């Protein structure tokens, strides 16, 4: 009997974890009775009663497994660590605790996997959120799709199903801030997609702050594309050439005017500020890549697990 591993990263989701476990159990029992499964909750040092509720759920169902981190390491590192403990023949890296990505899509993932696709992406065809957020996310996904070195389906996230061989392949990468969907896409294996509606959160509030979303977006961009750095190089070359040409023009005008100051001092001042602003923009862009390198070389303290429940090593 084949086994499916489903990972739910969570942080302060006390109102959602029990319902999430119930909904996945229902889908597996009713629609995928011929498969075993494990539901791994990766708790990111929650400060509410999330962990206590997870202990209760795991005590009643051995298929529910829990990893508790000593600190909040962010959703991507949290998923990455949980993926290392997944034992299924196929893995769903992220089933959100708030169920905005509905578990009812998983049978479609499995059907695609059984049809021979090693990766099946969940594509959020519709989003039940504000028009501002829809536009912002849509623009970001299109930029990623356009410039990434691998093909990442539009509007897809970590809610996908990948064969364990694919998961093992990306886990071999030593990445301190993994962009999981990008790494999976870079394997370039046979893939498919399933469309669904990303529903509105019904309980609790999202713990992903605006700053956190920006950080994740920038990481995704610099992890999957060299285009920004190349554009900075090209733009810098063009602006340097134009600046040199303007300097020659100013020198010629100085000779023609007999040493008097040429007309257009305001233009020069504007040009200086414009070039200075562009340079700072490019330096900031290059700085993002340097920060990525810095994080990879000089690592943060390793993740420490304070508790593991229902894993084999715990059961002796």
Q: Which of 189, 5, 212 is nearest to 89 (CA)?
A: 5
The confidence score (pLDDT) of residue 316 equals 36
The confidence score (pLDDT) of residue 134 equals 76
Do 91 and 238 share a structural domain? no
Burial (0-12, 13-18, 19+ Cβ within 10 Å), 94? buried
The confidence score (pLDDT) of residue 14 equals 93
Do 191 and 64 share a structural domain? yes
Return d(Cα 14, Cα 203) in angstroms, integer.
10
In this predicted structure, the answer to whether residue 56 has a pLDDT above a threshold of 90 is yes
The confidence score (pLDDT) of residue 272 equals 74
Do 257 and 170 share a structural domain? no
Do 248 and 233 share a structural domain? yes
Band of pLDDT at residue 63, cut at 50, 70 and 90: very high
Do 234 and 215 share a structural domain? no
Instruction: Determine which helix (DSSP H) or strand (DSSP E) holds 191, and give its type and residue range.
Output: strand 191-198
Query: How large is the greatest C-alpha to C-alpha distance in the chain, in angstroms?
Result: 93
Range(s) of the domain holding residue 261:
227-297
Q: Give the model confidence (pLDDT) of 86-99 as tens digits.
A: 999 999 999 999 99
Q: Which of 92, 118, 89, 119 is nearest to 105 (CA)?
A: 92
The mean per-residue pLDDT over the stretch 250-268 comes to: 62
Q: Give the model confidence (pLDDT) of 119-175 as tens digits.
A: 999 998 887 777 887 787 778 777 777 776 677 888 888 999 999 999 999 999 887
Per the CB < 8 A criterion, the answer to whether 62 and 315 are in contact is no
Return d(Cα 106, Cα 34) in angstroms, integer.
14
The confidence score (pLDDT) of residue 199 equals 86
Q: What's the CATH code of the domain at 184?
A: 3.90.550.10
Return d(Cα 112, Cα 255) in angstroms, integer.
74
Return d(Cα 177, Cα 82) in angstroms, integer.
14
Band of pLDDT at residue 257, cut at 50, 70 and 90: low
DSSP annotation of 185 reads H
User: In this predicted model, which residue has the larger pLDDT, 240 or 46?
Assistant: 46
Return d(Cα 239, Cα 4) in angstroms, integer.
54
User: In this predicted model, which residue has the larger pLDDT, 260 or 101?
Assistant: 101
The mean per-residue pLDDT over the stretch 197-208 comes to: 75
Q: pTM, whole model, 2 decimals?
A: 0.74
Q: Which of 146, 141, 149 is nearest to 123 (CA)?
A: 141
Token pair in block for residue 154: 């539009």
Q: Please name the residue that has the structure tokens 């009997």.
A: 1
Q: Which residues contact 281 (CB under 8 A, 6 or more apart)?
A: none
The mean per-residue pLDDT over the stretch 293-315 comes to: 73
Q: 84 — alpha (psi -120 to 50), left (phi > 0) or beta?
A: alpha
In this predicted structure, the answer to whether residue 248 has a pLDDT above a threshold of 90 is no
The confidence score (pLDDT) of residue 291 equals 67
Return d(Cα 304, Cα 15) in angstroms, integer.
25
Do 275 and 206 share a structural domain? no
The confidence score (pLDDT) of residue 16 equals 94
Do 162 and 29 share a structural domain? yes
Do 157 and 304 share a structural domain? yes
Q: How many domains does the chain have?
A: 2
Name which of 250-254, 303-307, 309-313 the model is least confident about. Answer: 250-254
Helix (H, G, I), strand (E, B) or coil at 99: coil
Could you please report the per-residue DSSP string of 255-281?
A: HHTTTSPPS-HHHHHHHHHHHHHHHHH
**Average pLDDT score over the chain:** 82
Q: Give the model confidence (pLDDT) of 1-26 as tens digits.
A: 899 999 999 999 999 999 999 999 99
The confidence score (pLDDT) of residue 260 equals 54
The mean per-residue pLDDT over the stretch 233-239 comes to: 67
> Which of 147-156, 171-180, 254-263 ranks highest by mean pLDDT?
171-180
Band of pLDDT at residue 232, cut at 50, 70 and 90: low
Per the CB < 8 A criterion, the answer to whether 231 and 43 are in contact is no
The mean per-residue pLDDT over the stretch 91-111 comes to: 95
Helix (H, G, I), strand (E, B) or coil at 166: helix
The confidence score (pLDDT) of residue 275 equals 72
Per the CB < 8 A criterion, the answer to whether 97 and 139 are in contact is no
Do 270 and 209 share a structural domain? no
Do 119 and 88 share a structural domain? yes
Do 87 and 72 share a structural domain? yes
Band of pLDDT at residue 315, cut at 50, 70 and 90: very low
Do 161 and 233 share a structural domain? no
């Amino acid at each position: 009997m084949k086994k499916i591993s489903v990972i739910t990263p969570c942080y302060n989701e006390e109102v959602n974890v029990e319902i999430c476990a119930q909904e996945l159990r229902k889908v597996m029992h009713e629609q995928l009775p011929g498969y075993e499964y494990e539901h791994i909750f990766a708790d990111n040092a929650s400060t509410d009663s999330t962990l206590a509720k997870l202990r209760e759920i795991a005590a009643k169902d051995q298929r529910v497994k829990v990893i508790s981190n000593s600190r909040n390491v962010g959703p991507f590192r949290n998923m990455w660590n949980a993926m290392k403990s997944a034992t299924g023949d196929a893995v769903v890296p992220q089933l959100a605790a708030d169920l905005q990505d509905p578990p009812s899509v998983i049978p479609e993932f499995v059907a695609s996997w059984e049809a021979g696709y090693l990766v099946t992406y969940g594509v959020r065809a519709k989003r039940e959120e504000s028009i501002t957020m829809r536009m912002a996310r849509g623009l970001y996904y299109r930029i990623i799709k356009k410039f990434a070195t691998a093909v990442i389906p539009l509007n897809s996230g970590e809610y996908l199903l990948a064969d364990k061989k694919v998961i093992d392949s990306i886990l071999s990468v030593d990445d301190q801030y993994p962009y999981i969907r990008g790494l999976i896409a870079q394997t370039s294996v046979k893939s498919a997609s399933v469309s669904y509606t990303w529903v509105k959160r019904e309980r609790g509030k999202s713990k992903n702050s605006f700053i956190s979303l920006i950080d994740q977006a920038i990481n995704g961009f610099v992890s999957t594309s060299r285009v920004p750095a190349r554009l900075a190089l090209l733009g810098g070359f063009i602006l340097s050439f134009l600046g040199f040409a303007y300097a020659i023009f100013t020198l010629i005008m100085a000779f023609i005017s007999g040493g008097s100051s040429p007309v257009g001092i305001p233009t020069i001042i504007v040009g200086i500020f414009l070039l200075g602003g562009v340079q700072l923009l490019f330096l900031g862009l290059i700085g993002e890549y340097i920060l990525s390198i810095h994080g990879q070389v000089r690592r943060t303290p390793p993740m420490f697990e304070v508790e593991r429940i229902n894993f084999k090593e715990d059961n002796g």
